Chain A
Amino acid sequence: MRVCRQKFTEALMTGVFYAAAFSILIVFAWIVGDIVRHGFDQINWEYLTTAPERAGRAGGIAPILVGTLLLMLVSLAASVPIGVASAVYLSVYAPPQDRFAHGVRRSLDVLSGVPSIVFGLFGYLVFCQALHMGWSILSGGLTLACMILPMLIRATEEGLRSVPGSYRTGSAALGISTGSALWRLILPAAMPGIRVGLILGIGRAMAETAAVMFTAGGSIRMPDGLMDPVRSLAYHIYILAIEIPGGQRRAYAASLVLVLLLLMITLASNVMMQRFVRKRIFVH
């Protein structure tokens, strides 16, 4: 009797877990399917290379794509050098049990949980106002840089962790200066981690709306320089969906472009690194 009931429970729970997993697959297919179905026939070369017309109801998204790309480049240019340097300090230079390094790690944990709208407020106060950059690519990019910093540092640290300790002790035994050991041996070996961090950072920066809407502005003119305001692709989707009557058809097209870009980025990081390493970067 008991064995019978146990067998029944086992079968039931197997069903429950299959159902949970399949419901996730179905929701994913539903969302992506909807966007592809409504957006696919609107996307062509002209859409990607012309300026929007009638507030985005017609025309393309060229200035928006350029703006999104520039925001991303600024954020990477600002965050990569300092992020990699911090990661090297934390995992190579800092003595074990160092209070300072511990404090920096804690602070980065907090930073990775800060809601993006709070980054938006911060960017507005610091870059737009205190540093007089106004609504610009520079303000938006620097705000995004702060946002992707924890992810980048964690990825680089994971990369550094995969460097065999013998590289460090070996180079120390040969009397190679730490600087050149770092530059010639340790950083190249940590490259896969840094690359995955870059890709995840690009994805995060490109998907972001709340952090750039008060820092980069919402202009749909083609930017002339880094001090010009731009509208990111994600923000463009929001505006088309909410503020422009009759803009929803075009919001599908913009969503499809953004989702395709991000899916490619996610898959690329999937191919580039074993999942357990990447997961440690994502969920610390």
Chain B
Amino acid sequence: MILSRLFHSLLRSDRWMSRVLRLAAAVTGGVSIVIFIFLLKESMPLLWRVGPEAFLQNTPWAPTSGTYGFLPMIVGTFWAMLGSVLIATPLGISAAIFTTYYAPRWLASIVRTVLWLLAGIPSVVYGFWGLVTLVPMINRVHAPGVSLLAGIAILTIMILPTIALMAESALETVPPSYVQAGRALGAGTWGIVRSVAIPAARSGLLAGVVLEMGRAIGETMAVIMVMGNTVQFPTSWFDSARTLTANIALEMAYATGDHQRALFVTGLALLGVIVLLIYGADRIEQSGVKEKTG
């Protein structure tokens, strides 16, 4: 305590150094604020004129003739996100349970490395692979192939490493004494996982799921390449659909005026959703920490 106070008083004597570093921190901390301000500045003229409700009404997406219905894209984003999260979560958590409690050391390290490698594959490569491999397969079952289902499949593979690696680090925080106590009571590995490890790691797992939702909502390139991008309310898994991110990427190249502003509104909305999800994940994690220490 005394040492650290001494250290800090010495640090304070290096005023100049400290100020430069503080400035650097202020700049990096300012980036996300600048992003928010610029998106807001570009969206404001349109938001002010037509009101936020213009984007949520069930009107067609025809920005050049003054109707800005986002609803089909919101629905498309939602289904793609929900589908992939519902598949990737049990699969990813199972993989984490496998590497933590079941696998022999060498196999666990292989699975872990593969998860890292999957996380490193770029989204265009996933999209391209989905387009040339999955889409024709789905097309054989039900035309046209480019579909919500293809999007869900690709997103599942893409967010799997996120949830698996986060679940693994959540499981690693479970105190070993809990597991030993479970063993002493004669529980099998699954018994321990179900009634000790998962409840103890619950908040970390939940936070992982929330962040994984953010990844799925924010993904752009892979989704564009396999979902067909028709602006419509999908009525089945085999229907083409467009996500909010795809809408920006597809139309930004030629949009002007209010059309372009509408795309910036989309960006702003996405940013808002991500901020909410990150805040939610943080709250969940904090509550878990409190539970464990208190």
Contacts and interface: CB of A to CB of B under 8 A. Distances in A.
A interface, by DSSP: helix, strand, loop or mixed?
Answer: helix
Nearest to A214: B252
Interface residues on B, range: 35 or more
Interface stretch (A20-28, A52-60, A189-197, A219-227): A20-28
B240 interface: no
A275 interface: yes
A242 interface: yes
Interface in B214-263: 214, 217-221, 224-225, 245, 248-249, 252-253, 263
Nearest to B11: A178
A266 B11 CA distance: 37
B143 interface: no
B114 interface: yes
Contact of A110 (B102, B267, B275): B275
A179 interface: yes
Contacts of A258: 122, 125
B122 A262 contact: yes
Interface centre among B14, B33, B162 (most CB of A within 10 A): B14
B102 A34 contact: no
A115 B245 contact: yes
A16 to B, nearest CB: 7
Contacts of B39: 118, 121-122, 125
Interface in B263-294: 263-264, 267, 270-271, 274-275, 277-278, 282
A153 B28 contact: yes
Contacts, number: 286
B19 to A, nearest CB: 10
B94 interface: yes
Contacts of B86: none
B120 A89 contact: no
A18 B166 CA distance: 19
Contacts of A10: 188-191
A118 B120 contact: no
Given A115-B274, A118-B267, A6 B120 contact: no
Contact of B98 (A21, A81, A235, A275): A21
B249 A25 contact: no
Given A10-B189, A10-B191, A82-B28, 4 more contacts: A24-B164, A89-B18, A210-B123, A241-B131
Interface of B: 3-4, 6-8, 10-11, 13-14, 17-18, 20-22, 24-35, 38-39, 42, 90-91, 94-95, 97-99, 102-103, 107, 110-129, 131-133, 157, 160, 162, 164-166, 168-169, 172, 188-191, 193, 208, 211, 214, 217-221, 224-225, 245, 248-249, 252-253, 263-264, 267, 270-271, 274-275, 277-278, 282
26 contacts: A7-B188, A14-B190, A16-B94, A20-B90, A24-B160, A25-B110, A82-B28, A86-B24, A86-B27, A100-B26, A110-B275, A111-B35, A120-B248, A122-B34, A122-B267, A126-B38, A172-B7, A178-B18, A207-B122, A210-B220, A214-B253, A238-B225, A266-B117, A267-B113, A280-B169, A283-B169
9 residue pairs, one from A and one from B, having the closest CB atoms: A115-B218, A207-B122, A104-B29, A20-B94, A85-B24, A89-B21, A13-B190, A266-B120, A10-B188
